[in-house]
Amino acid sequence: MSALELPVPVPGWFGPEGRPALGWVHRPAPGATAGSAAGGVGVLICGPVGPEAMGVHRTLRALAASLAQAGLPAMRFDYDGTGDAAGDELDPQRLEAWLRSVRDALSAGTQRLGVTRWILVGVRLGAALAAQVAAERDDVEALVAIAPVLVGRGFVRELRAFAMAGAGRGEADPRGLHEVGGCAFDEAAWQSIAAIDVSTLAGAPPREVLVLEARRTPGLDVWAQRLERAGSRLVVRAFEGADAMMRDPHETEVPQAMLATVAAWAAEVAARTVAGASAAPRIDGPLGDAPPADLSPVDGPDAARIVGAEGRVHLERVLRLGRDRALVGVLAEPVEVGAGARRAGVVILNAGAAHRVGPSRSAVMIARRLAALGHPVLRLDLPGLGDSPARHGEPDNVVYAPNAVEAIAVAVDWMRAHPRAAGCRLVGLCSGAYNAFKAAVAGLPVDGVVAINPLTFFWHGDAGDGPDAEHRVIAEAVRLRNAAAKPGAWRRVLSGEVPVADIASIVARRAGGSLARARRTLARSVGRPIGDDLEAELAAVARRGVPLHFVFAADEPGPALLDFCGGATARRLAARGALTIDDIPDADHTFTRRAARERLTAVVAARLGMAAVASEAVGVREPALAPERRVSAG
């Protein structure tokens, strides 16, 4: 049976009114008999919490599909304040909120899937959450712990070391946050994680436990003794590929061997459970076999009511777009607006291979801020990213996909037809900025572009964008310039810490880029333009009246690249306000720090004309496109 024969995963909302979570159900193919079709056994996948969650999203989706392939219905979901779920990472009582999400997911599955027995699969800290909930219930048959965190103190030490190794730009947050890899924890959450110890849990553990160890697991020996005393059957196996599973989304690798191990073990447990239990009644509902629709709810109404900051309420819905309904996105929109009122619609594109929530959940922050201001906002997964499957015969997880503009066109047309949308603006970070700009260049009917930290304006694949590509040269030049500005720079050059040969190479390659730009300018002037001409593309977009807004973190190579490749055309457009630049200080490429993400959200809202936020109020500086010209902040 191939994965193509599996039913399309069904998304939807569950949990408390005003604070729902989003889950995805993966059904077995019709006729499968290994698991719950006969005995009411299902699998709930509890993912990681914190910086590991973003990279693991791809593996969790593949794991759910593997379980469905083995005949078991599987559900994956986001914890409160994470991913697509309602709430924020700084809300109070984080640990209890995550545990409540696990309980709510089990309740939703029991009610809507006819599942009466569960196998919980937990990854990293999700294993500890799953173990605690399992100890509270009598309907959890088994637990799978993948590279588990069993003792919170050790996990907190890991997070602290990770934070120190990757300490980003900016001063410490005055709120006293613990910031790790784009996730922020307040002191109460930090201490509650540190207090976790699975071996001390009250209640009976599941009868069967599988542990997949990436390396020696702190606390496993003590927990194993507790499991033995309780009469549980423990199986421990090695897990290769855990580190690759948790890399940055564009580098992550799905551990196929692990998927096969978990699916086979869970199917065996389910078969034993079925053999000793009567068949459970089948209860189909929106979370079960409902046919895919534009809005496919898990529970409750078509749209989930999200209560956000300051009590503001908006609606969120899961969409399937396109003729094959393969494009997945989450729409946020106001609950109600005045009769006939229409405000700017926005489509937010994937940043790199991160799914629609964005790095450090930045896309969610932006979308909900704009929805609270009355604007429909769609966070879109492009083909092969997030929950939008790759097109037939094409690989997934491709960041600069050749079919991106075609997919964006579908979303733009949908948004322009939305009864509350006045046109459509595109917003993107990194590759999302590139794709948003290229969509405007291609002539899509967009009404504005917000391009955040683009790293290139022309992509020809790794081979085409080799070491002499202009964006790499500019990036190296900016790096050397910033290094030279630091105290003791000349001492490091003279001592050999900074290779002079590298500097000479950059200068030579920069000169070569200048010659290439001169050739393009000459070719354009005689009416015979050649490829990779940013000035020509900027001019074409401007002629259609599409405003271009660029947002750059401090010390990004983007402004220098825009100035170098955009030349006189970029400066001319900036002078008349058709092109603007905002520079956000104390930020890195993906706005890892919480304060930087908050600034970014305010800047995007301001640039789209959606909030009366002055640049000075959010600490935004206006950089120069060239030494002699500064860009108006409007």
Q: Helix, strand, or coil here: 560? A: helix
pLDDT value of position 33: 53
Rg (CA), the chain: 26
CA angle 296, 300, 305 (to 5 degrees): 90
Residue 144 has pLDDT above 70, yes or no: yes
pLDDT value of position 614: 31
- Cβ distance 120 to 142 under 8 Å? yes
Identify the CATH assignment for 323-458+533-630 out of 3.40.50.2300, 3.40.50.1820, 3.40.50.11860, 3.40.50.620. Answer: 3.40.50.1820
Q: Helix, strand, or coil here: 499? A: coil
Residue 623 has pLDDT above 80, yes or no: no
Which residues does 183 contact at the CB level (< 8 Å), separation at least 6? Answer: 50, 51, 89, 360
Interval 336-345: pLDDT, tens: 755 557 889 9
β-partners of residue 313 are 307
Interval 495-522: pLDDT, tens: 555 554 554 544 444 444 455 555 555 5
**HEC per residue, 211-260:** EEECCCCCCHHHHHHHHHHHCCEEEEEECCCHHHHCCCCCCCCCCHHHHH
Rounded distance between C-alpha atoms, residue 369 and residue 372, angstroms: 5
Percent of the chain with pLDDT over 90: 66
Interval 357-383: pLDDT, tens: 999 999 999 999 999 988 999 999 999
Band of the pLDDT at 111, cuts 50, 70, 90?
Answer: confident
Q: Mean pLDDT over residues 222-241, rounded?
A: 96
Domains 3-152+199-275 and 323-458+533-630 share a fold: yes
- Cβ distance 23 to 14 under 8 Å? yes
Q: Where are the alpha helices (DSSP H) in 527-611?
A: 534-543, 558-575, 594-607
Residue 9's alpha-carbon distances to 21, 202, 217, 296, in angstroms, are 16, 35, 33, 10
Instruction: Select the more confidently predicted residue: 389 or 610.
Output: 389
What's the distance, CA 357 to chain centroid?
4
Classify residue 172 by its DSSP letter. P
Strand extents, DSSP E, 124-190? 140-146, 178-180, 183-185
Band of the pLDDT at 529, cuts 50, 70, 90?
Answer: low
**Phi-psi category of 453—alpha, beta or left, where left has phi over 0 and alpha has psi -120 to 50?**
left
Q: Mean pLDDT over residues 61-86, rounded?
A: 96
Tally Cβ neighbours within 10 Å of residue 138: 9
Which residues does 246 contact at the CB level (< 8 Å), separation at least 6? Answer: 48, 52, 55, 56, 124, 252
Q: Which helix (H) or strand (E) holds 626?
A: strand 624-626
pLDDT value of position 288: 37
- Cβ distance 17 to 24 under 8 Å? no
* Parallel, antiparallel or unpaired: strands 313-321 and 343-348: unpaired
Residue 462 has pLDDT above 70, yes or no: no
pLDDT value of position 12: 84
DSSP for 426-464 reads EEEETHHHHHHHHHHHTT---S-EEEES---S---HHHH
Interval 558-612: pLDDT, tens: 898 999 899 999 999 999 999 999 999 999 999 999 999 999 999 999 988 753 3
Rounded distance between C-alpha atoms, residue 613 and residue 634, angstroms: 11
Q: Mean pLDDT over residues 536-556, rounded?
A: 95
Residue 437's alpha-carbon distances to 36, 515, 540, in angstroms, are 47, 25, 11
pLDDT value of position 496: 55
Q: Mean pLDDT over residues 93-114, rounded?
A: 93
The first and second tokens of residue 292, run together, are: 């895919």
pLDDT value of position 466: 44
Structural domain boundaries in the chain: 3-152+199-275, 323-458+533-630, 467-531
Q: Helix, strand, or coil here: 425? A: strand
Residue 46 has pLDDT above 60, yes or no: yes
Rounded distance between C-alpha atoms, residue 410 and residue 319, angstroms: 12
Which residues does 556 contact at the CB level (< 8 Å), separation at least 6? Answer: 453, 478, 589
β-partners of residue 345 are 424
pLDDT value of position 262: 98
pLDDT value of position 524: 54
Band of the pLDDT at 306, cuts 50, 70, 90?
Answer: very high
Helix, strand, coil percent content, the chain, rounded in steps of 5: 40, 20, 40
Band of the pLDDT at 494, cuts 50, 70, 90?
Answer: low
Averaged pLDDT of the chain: 84
- Cβ distance 40 to 276 under 8 Å? no
Residue 282 has pLDDT above 80, yes or no: no
DSSP for 391-425 reads PTTS-SS-SS-TTHHHHHHHHHHHHHHSTTEEEEE
For the packed helices 187-194 and 152-165, what is the interaxial angle rounded to 10 degrees? 130
Rounded distance between C-alpha atoms, residue 305 and residue 315, angstroms: 5
The first and second tokens of residue 480, run together, are: 């050397």
- Cβ distance 25 to 287 under 8 Å? yes
Sign for the CA dihedral angle at 326, 319, 113, 72 comes to positive
Residue 348's alpha-carbon distances to 115, 244, 331, 332, 601, in angstroms, are 36, 27, 10, 11, 12
Indicate the range of 234-238, 261-265, 277-281 predicted with least confidence.
277-281
Rounded distance between C-alpha atoms, residue 193 and residue 153, angstroms: 7
For the packed helices 558-575 and 500-525, what is the interaxial angle rounded to 10 degrees? 30
Indicate the range of 316-320, 547-551, 607-611 predicted with least confidence.
607-611
Which residues does 289 contact at the CB level (< 8 Å), separation at least 6? Answer: 7, 27
At 593, phi and psi to the nearest 5?
Answer: -80, 145
**Phi-psi category of 61—alpha, beta or left, where left has phi over 0 and alpha has psi -120 to 50?**
alpha
At 418, phi and psi to the nearest 5?
Answer: -65, 130
- Cβ distance 98 to 87 under 8 Å? no
CA angle 621, 622, 625 (to 5 degrees): 140
Band of the pLDDT at 468, cuts 50, 70, 90?
Answer: very low
CATH class in words for 3-152+199-275: alpha beta
**HEC per residue, 25-40:** EECCCCCCCCCHHHHC
Rounded distance between C-alpha atoms, residue 59 and residue 55, angstroms: 8
The first and second tokens of residue 99, run together, are: 């545990």
pLDDT value of position 342: 84
Instruction: Select the more confidently predicted residue: 1 or 431.
Output: 431
β-partners of residue 427 are 348, 450
Rounded distance between C-alpha atoms, residue 205 and residue 213, angstroms: 19
- Cβ distance 532 to 567 under 8 Å? no
